[in-house]
A and B are shown apart, each in its own frame.
Chain A
Amino acid sequence: MSEAIRLEDVSKSFGEYEAVKDVSLTIEKGEFFSLLGPSGCGKTTTLRMLAGFEIPTEGRILLEGEPVEDVPPYERNVNMVFQSYALFEHLDVADNVAFGLKRKKVAKDEIRKRVEESLELVSLADRAKSHTNELSGGEKQRVALARALVNEPAVLLLDEPLGALDLKLRRQMQVELKQIQREVGITFVYVTHDQEEALAMSDRIAVMSDGEVVQCGVPEEVYEHPAEAFVAGFIGVSNLMEGIVQGKDKVKLASGQSVKAPLPEGCDKGEKVQLSVRPEKITLDDFERGMVTLEGTVAERVYQGVNTQVTISLGDGASVVALEQQTYRASADDRWEPGAKVKLGWHPDHCLVLR
């Protein structure tokens, strides 16, 4: 695979405010790449620099090897799908899609053919003559997608494109988007604050915080091996527990118990660390050999259908969340009443030590 986009030490300041700090990234051709982070983390600014709406204060942006940081958006072979759709309300669906090709002065016949194809791609062939105001939110999103894809850009930029849709439609569109991306093979750069969305769709994810990329990797890696407490906390519930290193693979928790945990290289005795265990890795009252076990008190129990979420107080203010599958339990009602003592445990392998 060759590279589609490379950012080299890119920074962007708005006056005093540094929105993006020293970001370096390489995005491969055909990749579905997500920029993930909370609002204000710099992900949208990064995307807007890729589109050409913002010019980096420092650093270089290479599009298929060519430096483009000063190239205006209308001369850049990238297209964007806006969060608010940004459809042209005075044009019908087909004319919206044809807009870019007309500006590029593509021949009429060719335009008609390509508009038809891309509307087919997003399953809107029958709405070509509709007014944009007659479309549902999901349909508008598809028009925005077709309007960008029809130009066959080197990179498609998507700025939280599903943010305005309801949950069910969002799930459906996630699947569709991914399918379309596979079909056309165009590089997608996808900005989202929804970690589930990023995990489900991306080939790779760059997690951003405070203008910096804190971790970049495939979804499994980012989820299973968060590089920082921020990543662990942002992606999923991470049950962070304070502790002090006691010796080889031994950490003493704030609640006083010592547990076995795989220490990263170079951890010294007495160092403060955080233990992270994903809720679905914690079992209650049901252990296997080699597991770490602790005692706690049930603080809260929430029945969620597929599973039950139990919050357990460990004393000393610390608490963890466990997700219990309902697989072989007929009813959860008789178990884990709030206030009941409970034993919990996990495999040391599933525990992550963050410095």
Chain B
Amino acid sequence: MRADYWTRFLIPPGVWLLALFAFPLMLVLALSLGYVDDLGRAVYGTDWSNYAEAFNPTYLPVLIRSVGYAAATVALCLLIGYPIAYYIARFGGRYRYALIAALVVPFFVNYLVRTYAWVALLSDEGLVNNFLVNLGLTDRGIQMINTPWAVIGGLTYGYLIFMILPVYASLERMSPSVIEAGKDLYGRPFRTFLHVTLPQTKQGILAGSVLVFLPAVGDFVSAQLLGGPDTYMVGNLIQDQFFAANNWPFGAALTVVMMLFLSIWMIGYLRSASRDARGAAI
């Protein structure tokens, strides 16, 4: 009876999920089986050919590239985000929350706008290159945007906070005396970090990696604004189907395939997390 009582409270979030997640998802599924009529309108149908087209080998390099960029983004976010989170959690003292807030505030600005700002900063005659030219380090500026590195950089900048926050949370949850124990047991600072701090924040790193990887692999803004001729990502492919090629059913099929692909990773993560959680609960 108690269980029944509490189950009732699951109804509002359940309805919410159904209305805003499950139902649109069903529509995407239905749309992916549709076709385009003579007026360019998407029509629901029962046509699997969009899926056949989605597995066209032409798109394999796009998928591999997207996964590669997203993986590089995760690695960079970790390399940049971990020290920031570490510094704030360990040495931030009473300024901790102010520092975290300072990191979060720029993310209130639209991602597209922030990425445009990078274009202005990093273009061949942008602020950074003008500065370098004035210093005499280069005579006509270095090409920084429209490269794969710029795309990865844009993704890293865009999703860095999703790495910092979970890593920060896991670091803050960790007792400082554990680090002291590491040092007390003859661990030099780097060894202590490697053998104590890092493994103890593994769940934060994993959560951060998933939170960065998922949006990065489907991103289209960074490649569109900072990319070059060879930086076409899955997100751009899907975006083009909807807004350029006017082929919604194919875009929907690509979306479904991508979702299934990402779900595999997500389930892997959830399993690992729940295994760790079970271990910790006993």
Contact = CB atoms under 8 A, between A and B. Distances in A.
A and B directly contacting (CB within 8 A): yes
Interface of A: 51-53, 72-75, 78-80, 82-84, 86-91, 99-100, 103-104, 131, 133-134, 147-148, 151
B101 interface: no
B188 interface: yes
A133 B279 contact: yes
A80 B181 contact: yes
Interface stretch (B118-126, B195-203, B234-242, B248-256): B195-203
Contact of B180 (A82, A87, A103): A82
A103 B187 CA distance: 6
Contacts of B199: 88, 90-91
- Range, interface on chain B: 20 to 34
A306 to B, nearest CB: 38
Contacts of B6: none
A268 to B, nearest CB: 51
B245 interface: no
B191 A103 contact: yes
Interface string B154-187: 0000000000000000000001011011111111
A185 to B, nearest CB: 21
Nearest to A79: B184
A90 B180 contact: no
Contacts of B200: 88-90
B279 A80 contact: no
B244 interface: no
B184 A73 contact: yes
A86 B175 contact: yes
B275 to A, nearest CB: 12
Given A74-B188, A104-B186, A86 B181 contact: yes
14 contacts: A52-B183, A52-B184, A53-B184, A72-B183, A74-B185, A74-B192, A75-B186, A86-B178, A86-B181, A91-B199, A100-B186, A131-B279, A133-B282, A134-B282
A51 B183 CA distance: 10
Contact of B185 (A72, A89, A133, A147): A147
Contacts of A133: 279-282
A314 B199 CA distance: 63
Contacts of B182: 88, 99
B178 A88 contact: yes
B272 to A, nearest CB: 14
B169 to A, nearest CB: 16
B186 A88 contact: no
B129 to A, nearest CB: 45
Which of B183, B187, B192, B282 has the most chain A CB within a 10 Å cutoff? B183
Contact of A79 (B175, B185, B189, B192): B185
Contacts of B187: 74, 99, 103
A73 B183 contact: yes
Nearest to A72: B183
A237 to B, nearest CB: 34
Contacts of B282: 131, 133-134
B183 A74 contact: yes
A84 B176 CA distance: 10
